[in-house]
Structure formats: structure tokens, C-alpha cells
């Protein structure tokens, strides 16, 4: 039976993995920026500044995912247009997306720089942590506009199936981020040691260079000339901008509901103490790293689903999506085993503080179990996004994380006195709920498409 199952989906595994692996590399690149910041600060600047990174990343990601979600509205539309062989439409969509994303980036910069920086003093965090968090957050706010430009050209290229270049650019950017970050944090080559502020500066430089290189690649490469005939840098129209927002805005809300739940958990944990907050940052950083791999598989599922939808090939659409589920379940099972078996070793990557390591080791066991649910829920979102089904999945994410996950975690953490572990149990249950409901939605939508075609 297993052999028959593998034979049935073998071609889809191959297609999806060829498309997904470079996206995975690119997604890891996004995560590696914050992961590198945490490692550099944890190793060279101490627990208090690592807690500051945890606080800032929690707040910054809450705003950043709004921009990322808007940018993701382009990919399924490009994939669908490509499936229909409508090359000119791809250029028109890119024009609208670029303008929308630049405006969104400027708006988010204002929101972060003048809103979040003021908020950070009033959320019950340690004054020492807040002191280090402010300059780091300030530099990150400047980086959001070039990041949105990078995202525009990245999503355009990936929607057309060109996924390798964004991965290579992300790797290039992260090497720069790590090197400059270490130099500035430690104060090498005669420079003053900047601590956490140094990784903020290195991230800004990294994202600016990535935006420039990605834009030059798309606009100058022969691969895209046929798609750019209708690309005009100042062109925006109501129809296409509305199409992008109709997908991008709900996707943004999906990310906000999920990321805000984890950000809210970080803030709640921060009221327990600095060591639990630093431990949470370590565990969530490692879990987020593996999530980025699952997210890459989900992005490839969005592209393949959009292609098949444009071709009106609903049988292959469904099989390709199921193959993506198989891939992510297999991978997340492996990472779950790794987290559980190496739970006492992995925290040493970030810190030498034994109290923090002990707490993080406990959290990694829990993280091992929610890996499966985290992977399957993001693939479910990716498949449904490719179909253009975004509104019901958005409600599912809100229900799972804010009606179920966070309240349940708060109850376990404070009323049953389970502390930081109780909050993580709540997050795990929220992921389980999202995973099941999104899979049921996938089953309903794809079977409906096949039935409608048969009729």
C-alpha cells in the first residue's frame, strides 16, 4: 500500500521539491536574519540584550507580517496568469504590486518608528531590556521599505517558477548580516562595541543590498523580458490593485493572528522574568527556523495550485497539494525528533546561561510536538491561497490562536501555575486546531472543484 501511495504521488513530490527547495532557502534567509541577531547578541552581549532581541522581534514581526502578507497577494495571481499563458498580465500585476508594497512599507515604517517605540515603555517589561530594545527597533524600522521592495520582485519571480535566485540573494545577504553584525556587536577593527544596536545596523545594510540586487536581477534578466512588456513603474489601476489586496490583506491578517499570538506569548512570558523570556526566544527561534522550511513548501504549494487552477486541471491540483502535505509531515517529524533528543544541547548555540538553558530545554520538548501541527497548518494556508480561498482560512487562524490558543495558554500558565510551559501548551493546542480545520477546508474546496468539473 505504501509503495502504491508513493508511486501515485512520486511525480508531484519531485515537482514540488524542485520548486520548494530554493524557496525554503530563501525563507530560511528571512529567518536567519533574526536567528543570527539572536545568536550574535546571546554569545557576545549577554542575557539582558538577548531578552531585548526577543522583545523587539516579537513586536517587529507583528508589524512586518502585515507587509509580508500584502506582498504575498502577488504570487498566486502571477501563478494563475502564467498558467493561462497571459504574459502581459504578469507585468501589469508587478507594476501594481511594487507601488502598493512601497506605500505599505512607508506606512509600516511610520507605525513602527512612532507607534511601537512609544508603546514599548508601557507593556510591563524590564527597564534594562527596554533600554537595549529601543535602538535595535529603531534600526529595524528603517529596514522595512527595502525589504518590501525585495519581496515584490521575489514574489514575482517565484510566481513564475524562478525560485533559485532569491535563495542565492538571501544567502548572500545573510553572510553580510552575520559578518557586519559580529564586527559591530563586538567592536572589532577599532570600532566601538555597539551591542544589540550593531545587529540592527547590520540588518538594515543587509536588506537594502538584497532589495537592490533582486530588483536588478528581475529587471535585467532575459528570463523575464517576455513578462515585463506591460511593466511600468508608475502604473497602478483599480482592478489589479483590488485583486492583490483581496488576497494580500486576508493573508496579512492570517499572519498577524498567528504571529501576534506568539508575540503576545513572548510579552506575557516577559512578565514572568528575564530568563524565561530569553529561553522562549531560543525555543521559538529554533521552531521558527523549521517553520520557515515548512513555509517554503507551502509557498511552492501556492504556486503549483495557482498554475493548475489557471489550467483548470483540478485533479492534478488536488494531488499536488496532498503531496505537499506528505512532504511537510515527513520533514516536521524529523525535526520533532531532533528537538526532543537534542533539547539540552541546542540552547548552547545561543547562550551559556544555565538557567536559561534549563528552561529552553523543557520548551524544546513541547516544540517538538507542535512541529507537526505548525507544518500542516501552513501548507493548508498555502494551498487554499493558491485557489484564492483566503477569507475562511483567516477566520480559522483567528479562532485557533486568539479564541483558543492564547486564552488556554494563559489559563494553564497562571491559573494552573505551569508558567512558561503552560503558555506553550496553549500555543500547541491552537496550532492543532488550525491544522485540523484548514485540512477540512482544503478537502471541501478541492473536492468541490473536481465535482463541479465532472458536472
Query: 109 with 67: CB under 8 angstroms?
Result: no
Q: What whole-number distance in Å separates Cα of residue 380 and Cα of residue 253?
A: 16
270: DSSP letter: H
Residue 177's nearest CA partner among 209, 217, 139, 150 is 209
Smallest Cα–Cα separation from 117: which of 105, 109, 107?
109
| Residue 388: partners with Cβ closer than 8 Å, 6 or more residues away | 76, 80, 247, 309
What does pLDDT average to in each consecutive run of 10 residues of the chain (455 residues)? 66 82 73 66 67 73 82 87 86 91 91 74 69 78 90 90 83 81 73 71 87 93 88 80 88 83 80 81 82 85 86 85 90 91 87 85 89 91 89 93 91 88 92 94 85 61
Identify the DSSP state of 123.
Answer: S
Q: How many CB atoms lie within 10 A of CB 52?
A: 33
Strand (E) or helix (H) holding 36: helix 2-44
Interior/surface letters 135-168, b for 16+ CB within 10 angstroms, e for the rest: bbbbbbbbbbbbbbbbbbbbbbbbbbbbbbbbbe
Contact in structure between 172 and 150 (CB atoms under 8 Å)? no
Measured from the Cβ of residue 270, the count of other Cβ atoms closer than 10 Å reads 22
> How much is the pLDDT for 106?
93
Question: Do 136 and 52 contact (CB within 8 A), yes or no?
Answer: yes
d(CA 452, CA 147): 41
pLDDT at 1: 53
Q: Tell me, what's the pLDDT at 442?
A: 92
- Distance between CA atoms of 239 and 25, rounded to whole angstroms? 33
Task: Give me 368's grid cell.
Answer: 517538538
Name the nearest CA neighbour of 125 among 261, 259, 272, 265: 272
DSSP string, 66-118: HHHHHHHTHHHHHHHHHHTT-HHHHHHHHHHHHHHHHHHHHHHHHHIIIIIHH
Q: What is the pLDDT of residue 118?
A: 67
**Residues 430 and 403 sit within 8 Å (Cβ to Cβ):** no
Q: What are phi and psi of 124, to 5 degrees?
A: 75, 25
Q: What angle do CA 256, 379, 267 make, to 5 degrees?
A: 30
Burial of 239 (0-12, 13-18, 19+ CB in 10 A): exposed
Annotated domain spans of the chain:
22-236, 248-454
Cα-Cα-Cα-Cα dihedral of 84, 85, 87, 91, to 10°? 30
Q: Count CB neighbours of 70 within 10 A.
A: 27
Q: For 328, list phi and psi in degrees, rounded to 5.
A: -70, -35
Q: In this structure, are residues 40 and 182 in contact, taking their beta carbons and an 8 Å threshold?
A: yes
d(Cα 42, Cα 51) in Å, to the nearest integer?
9
| CA atoms of 27 and 312, how far apart (whole Å) | 29
Q: Considering Cα of 210, then 211, then 214, then 216, what sign does the dihedral take?
A: negative
8 A C-beta contact, residue 203 and residue 147:
no
Amino acid at each position: 500500500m505504501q509503495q502504491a501511495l508513493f508511486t501515485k504521488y512520486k511525480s508531484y513530490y519531485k515537482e514540488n521539491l524542485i520548486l520548494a527547495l530554493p524557496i525554503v532557502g530563501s525563507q530560511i534567509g528571512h529567518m536567519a536574519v533574526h536567528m543570527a541577531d539572536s545568536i550574535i547578541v546571546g554569545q557576545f552581549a549577554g542575557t539582558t540584550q538577548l531578552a531585548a532581541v526577543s522583545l523587539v522581534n516579537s513586536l517587529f514581526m507583528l508589524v512586518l507580517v502585515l507587509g509580508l502578507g500584502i506582498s504575498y497577494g502577488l504570487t498566486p495571481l502571477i501563478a494563475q496568469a502564467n498558467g493561462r499563458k497571459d504574459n502581459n498580465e504578469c507585468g501589469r500585476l508587478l507594476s501594481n504590486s511594487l507601488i502598493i508594497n512601497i506605500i505599505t512599507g512607508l506606512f509600516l515604517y511610520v507605525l513602527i518608528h512612532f507607534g511601537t517605540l512609544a508603546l514599548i515603555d508601557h507593556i510591563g517589561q524590564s527597564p534594562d531590556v527596554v533600554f537595549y530594545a529601543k535602538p535595535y527597533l529603531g534600526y529595524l524600522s528603517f529596514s522595512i521599505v527595502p525589504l518590501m521592495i525585495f519581496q515584490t520582485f521575489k514574489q514575482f519571480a517565484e510566481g513564475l517558477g524562478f525560485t533559485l535566485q532569491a535563495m542565492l540573494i538571501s544567502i548572500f545577504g545573510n553572510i553580510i548580516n552575520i559578518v557586519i553584525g559580529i564586527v559591530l556587536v563586538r567592536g572589532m577593527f577599532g570600532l566601538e562595541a555597539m551591542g544589540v544596536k550593531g545587529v540592527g545596523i547590520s540588518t538594515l545594510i543587509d536588506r537594502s543590498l538584497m532589495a537592490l540586487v533582486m530588483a536588478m536581477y528581475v529587471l535585467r534578466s532575459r528570463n523575464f523580458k517576455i513578462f515585463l512588456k506591460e511593466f511600468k513603474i508608475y502604473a497602478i489601476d483599480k482592478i489589479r490593485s483590488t485583486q492583490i489586496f483581496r488576497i494580500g490583506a486576508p493573508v496579512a491578517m492570517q499572519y498577524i493572528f498567528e504571529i501576534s499570538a506568539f508575540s503576545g506569548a513572548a510579552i506575557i512570558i516577559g512578565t514572568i522574568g528575564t530568563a524565561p523570556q530569553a529561553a522562549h526566544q531560543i525555543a521559538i527561534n529554533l521552531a521558527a527556523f523549521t517553520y520557515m522550511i515548512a513555509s517554503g513548501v507551502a509557498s511552492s504549494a501556492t504556486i503549483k495550485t495557482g498554475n493548475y487552477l489557471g489550467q483548470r486541471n483540478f485533479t492534478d491540483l488536488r494531488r499536488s497539494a496532498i503531496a505537499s502535505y506528505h512532504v511537510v509531515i515527513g520533514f516536521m517529524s524529523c525535526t520533532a525528533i531532533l528537538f526532543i533528543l537534542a533539547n539540552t544541547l541546542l540552547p548552547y548555540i545561543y547562550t551559556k546561561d544555565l538557567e536559561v538553558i534549563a528552561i529552553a530545554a523543557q520548551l524544546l520538548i513541547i516544540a517538538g510536538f507542535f512541529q507537526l501541527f505548525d507544518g500542516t497548518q501552513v501548507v493548508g494556508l498555502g494551498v487554499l491561497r493558491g485557489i484564492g480561498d483566503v477569507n475562511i482560512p483567516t477566520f480559522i487562524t483567528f479562532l485557533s490562536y486568539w479564541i483558543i490558543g492564547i486564552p488556554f495558554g494563559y489559563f494553564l500558565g497562571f491559573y494552573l501555575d505551569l508558567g512558561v510551559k503552560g503558555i506553550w501548551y496553549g500555543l500547541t493546542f491552537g496550532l492543532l486546531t488550525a491544522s485540523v480545520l484548514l485540512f477540512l477546508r482544503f478537502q471541501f474546496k478541492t473536492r468541490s472543484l473536481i465535482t463541479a468539473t465532472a458536472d
